[in-house]
Structure 1
């Protein structure tokens, strides 16, 4: 599966957009690949300038004041952001009491993990009937122990948190910081900025919004931006510019230190830099516009079909992704979201994200991105319509899928069980002997 194959890659919350080949050409240029990270700043002025300008572009897009390029993935960016939050409260002598990070029930799973790894406790708050943060629940959750709030906007069901100013006010008045999970930044580029919403810290997944490959698990990059009052805590070394000359500064006593070797995944950063300059400001804005249009086109068509529905204000427009529920289909036919996804493989299409976010029953999380033409969207819609028709007429055809793949329906319990999973040649030989 791949975006270049001509088939939609609707993996929700992953922003599987087209990665322009020019990005790869430039990142693979000998003048780039021949640079060694231990070279002196005097001999690497070109790449330092590129990385410095990438940071400037990122700050303009997000509305932040300073940033680090070091984190090598989204979750690494989250953890870095949490460590910055920790350093801020420690510097103010409040770390002993500010131990709690508030997180909505719709959050990405890495949010609580990152907060806990940074030494915080997490406090979960529910979404309201509109799929947004419940303000009354938020007010009840915050207090003198609040270190901050982690939030995605638009959130994971594709709904924009329209009360974001009120949310920021509640957190700031309690003495906490606002953290922006930038996984969904592709929905708002050029239209609004996290820094203007009241966020103090942000990470952005370059391998999502800025078209660098997901690469089968890596490499990625998770730039972290902050407001000026947090800049002293950013990782070192930082790239600084003075009269057109670029150097590295490690003289930051309050810094949280290094979070990655050298300057992060520089090749990934270069691809994002190329994408930004190729698209330009107007192009980035248009990409967000088309991503939102595509997601709403799919959702409006799918809810017309039996078994599919939108939860949380179905008439309200979504942003970059739509979370379709197949709960009615399961109730009426016995076909769950899992088997809808398995059957979709028979059409040569990658399945959407399933069962996330967990606040949507039988969730099919669909994010088409701006890359997909209407023909690809229509073929995806037709496939899901045909699967719906099959579920109601011949459910066993769906429940036994896939049929057209190299490997058919798997025994998932056996495939994932510690006794049968093969992680080494020795384990394979042992299992073969037992059989």
Structure 2
């Protein structure tokens, strides 16, 4: 029996690989996972068979195209897929930088999956959901304390949707003041997430982009030159998506606010700031938090998510409704905000996500939230000082300490060995690590963004560092091993480089896949 070297930090890992079809290809006509009994004669007499009372235009002409498959084969199928997947509960998940991957307490999942939560319906009378409304209202109060804002809406479904809502509020505010036509410019920075500029552009704004000064920070002199009577607002993340924290942010917001603009803050990732600094004191009129990042609700494959949107008092009338209000022990939904931008999604939001965030905050308390930030910053700086010592790695722009994420670069490694960040990404999978190479804005060459949250120990970080160090060594002395990776993982290298950029090769649904497959057969014939 081979003796395992416990002192070795790079794991000997080999992932399960199944030649597993997609579930539609496993479908067998007539096979069932659950046999639902027909309604009894007594029920049919009272309410019909469930279909007969429906209007004809609501009844399908054909049954939906769903897989027909037995329970045990469904279970086997998804268990096999899970074995081919790296995820936050499986590996040290610091490689999806900017997304704040952290451990989500399983007790909170138990709360969210309870039958009481599952039976909630957005059309229920508010008298029957007082408990959930109380949780939403109290989370609002906690968010006010954390940010300094005066009111919160949990309707927006993501950070980008929250940014769109904030840009809409900026426009509505200036319209109410009769300045909407004059104020047609939004200022942001080159380091900021593209959604900040994109959502403002969708609202019709001209985008002014600030570039860094000689020290690597957003240039305050360029801001002064850009601000004018045309300035509608200023949107920024801080730390920004590249991991740069601007210590002069209050000067930036004052310049914009003195000119009559609205300052709004992308705090999708506030993990290094909790209990230490707030949006209000930094001079912002609005901010949002991603509950699926900072507040430890799972990403859940991209959703369901919540961008918690907070505003100062003067902007409350413009919030998307409804918001929850409390009066004499009764919780109600206020959907009559006088100048509301209107709904940005159906109903109020995702109550399960709100509940998880509420439970996480209640479990930690004020001191615990601050400890989250302190440990996250400590972890990040430990990782930072280790990574920049790896041959071929660097951290462009600001030198020294960072807060909660850093966009590193393999530019030197790539120039000296030909190994790219995508090659490193695939090789990391051989060591059971997730590593994300898509980082926007793309201002750092050969980027990789790492974000150790408070969830990971020094031993976890050392394991991740050891894997990167091993890959750097291979890149210099056996680059083909890295370029041909992965070797032990279920993933593979995509040979067609235009796969993600060519809509003709996309198949979002099984139906679209069948159509494209049939079209391809016809072309070949």
**TM tier relative to shorter chain:** over 0.9
**Cα deviation 1:238-271 (Å, max 9, x = unaligned):** 2111111112223322111222222111111111
Of the three residues 403, 411, 434, the one matched with 2:487 is: 403
1:208 aligns with 2:208: no
Following superposition, the deviation at residue 349 of structure 1 comes to 0.7
TM-score (normalizing by structure 1): 0.96
1:154 aligns with 2:233: no
CA distance in 1, matches of 2:382, 2:374: 12
CA RMSD of aligned residues (A): 1.6
Per the alignment, residue 108 of structure 1 pairs with: 193
Of the three residues 237, 262, 276, the one matched with 2:347 is: 262
Per the alignment, residue 386 of structure 1 pairs with: 470
CA distance in 2, matches of 1:27, 1:377: 30
**Cα deviation 1:139-158 (Å, max 9, x = unaligned):** 11111111111111122232
Following superposition, the deviation at residue 433 of structure 1 comes to 5.9
Of the three residues 98, 118, 122, the one matched with 1:37 is: 122
Secondary structure of 2:116's counterpart equals helix
CA distance in 2, matches of 1:211, 1:267: 12
CA distance in 1, matches of 2:193, 2:323: 29
TM-score (normalizing by structure 2): 0.80
Give matches, 1:64-75, under 5 Å.
64-75=149-160
Of the three residues 391, 405, 410, the one matched with 1:306 is: 391
Contact 2:91 2:432 (C-alpha < 8 Å) held by counterparts: no
Per the alignment, residue 275 of structure 1 pairs with: 360
Per the alignment, residue 202 of structure 2 pairs with: 117
Give matches, 1:8-27, under 5 Å.
8-27=93-112
Per the alignment, residue 516 of structure 2 pairs with: 427
Give matches, 1:20-99, under 5 Å.
20-99=105-184
Unaligned 5+ segments in structure 1 are none
Following superposition, the deviation at residue 434 of structure 1 comes to 5.2
Contact 2:422 2:437 (C-alpha < 8 Å) held by counterparts: no
Provide closer, same or farther for how the CA distance between residues 422 and 35 of structure 1 changes in structure 2, counting only shifts above 3 A.
closer
CA distance in 2, matches of 1:420, 1:234: 40
Contact 1:180 1:201 (C-alpha < 8 Å) held by counterparts: yes
Contact 1:27 1:271 (C-alpha < 8 Å) held by counterparts: yes
Contact 1:67 1:223 (C-alpha < 8 Å) held by counterparts: yes
Contact 1:2 1:9 (C-alpha < 8 Å) held by counterparts: no
State which structure, 1 or 2, has the greater radius of gyration over its C-alpha atoms.
Answer: 2
Per the alignment, residue 409 of structure 2 pairs with: 325
Secondary structure of 1:24's counterpart equals helix
1:339 aligns with 2:433: no
**Cα deviation 1:89-120 (Å, max 9, x = unaligned):** 11000000111111100011111111112221
Secondary structure of 1:184's counterpart equals coil
Following superposition, the deviation at residue 414 of structure 1 comes to 4.8
Unaligned 5+ segments in structure 2 are 1-85
Per the alignment, residue 442 of structure 2 pairs with: 358
CA distance in 2, matches of 1:318, 1:204: 20
Per the alignment, residue 233 of structure 1 pairs with: 318
Secondary structure of 2:499's counterpart equals helix
Per the alignment, residue 375 of structure 1 pairs with: 459
Secondary structure of 2:385's counterpart equals helix
Q: Which moved more, 1:355-364 or 1:161-170?
A: 355-364
Q: Which moved more, 1:323-332 or 1:189-198?
A: 323-332
Provide closer, same or farther for how the CA distance between residues 34 and 418 of structure 1 changes in structure 2, counting only shifts above 3 A.
closer
Of the three residues 236, 251, 261, the one matched with 2:336 is: 251
Secondary structure of 1:179's counterpart equals strand
**Cα deviation 1:331-366 (Å, max 9, x = unaligned):** 111112222222111111111344444222221111
**Cα deviation 1:147-177 (Å, max 9, x = unaligned):** 1111111222323211011101111111111
Q: Which moved more, 1:59-68 or 1:345-354?
A: 345-354
Secondary structure of 1:132's counterpart equals coil
CA distance in 1, matches of 2:437, 2:453: 14
Equivalenced residue count is 434
CA distance in 1, matches of 2:184, 2:375: 41
Per the alignment, residue 43 of structure 2 pairs with: none
Contact 1:356 1:363 (C-alpha < 8 Å) held by counterparts: no
Of the three residues 191, 198, 206, the one matched with 2:283 is: 198
CA distance in 1, matches of 2:300, 2:220: 39
CA distance in 1, matches of 2:437, 2:378: 19
Contact 1:89 1:98 (C-alpha < 8 Å) held by counterparts: yes
Following superposition, the deviation at residue 18 of structure 1 comes to 0.8
